[in-house]
Amino acid sequence: MPHMIGWLVRNFDSIPIDHNLRYLIRDLPTYLKKIFEKPCWILIYPEEELWFNYRKPRPLKKGAYFCAAKLNKPIISTFTELRATSRREVWQRDFYKTKSILHVLPTIYPDPHLSVGENTQKMWQTDYQQKKSAYEKYYNCKLTSDFSNEDIVGYSPRRKR
């Protein structure tokens, strides 16, 4: 990777992710295998799973589960709980500032008796079920696909004058 982005990637222990399937299926696991020669942690966080102040778990992307299954590595499942504070955002006055609480859920291990595809699917579904259970526990309500303003943490429109 050239220029400033390349310098950042090389010097801040980052691995670029691309939508290119060849890269994701062949090249990325090769890079990760090389990295795992020494004990380490790798955080894979798809941007599509993050929506501003949205508290419901988003549909998970299979890439991290595929890499874990292919490299026979566990997934450390997490759930981020968002809570509104009493202070309004400076530039977005319809929002209160939020705080995040990270909950570490049970670790998900690949099953050595399953194929990479079966492990990917199983780990992916297990992680989603854990996140769903955590959502229902910490927000004390059932997870549904319906949308309401309460799904956006800290959203409280000011009255128009």
Of the chain, the end-to-end C-alpha distance in Å amounts to 51
Q: Where are the beta strands (DSSP E) in the chain?
A: 78-88, 96-104
- In this structure, are residues 85 and 99 in contact, taking their beta carbons and an 8 Å threshold? yes
Q: What is the pLDDT of residue 11?
A: 66
- The span from the CA of 50 to the CA of 46, in Å, is 8
- The span from the CA of 98 to the CA of 2, in Å, is 37
Each domain of the chain, given as residue ranges in start order, spans 1-42, 46-161
The SS3 of residue 24 is: helix
pLDDT in tens, the chain (161 residues): 567 766 766 666 666 666 777 877 788 788 888 887 888 777 776 666 667 788 998 888 888 898 899 989 999 999 999 999 999 888 888 889 999 999 999 999 999 999 999 999 999 999 999 999 999 999 999 999 898 888 999 888 776 54
The SS3 of residue 155 is: strand
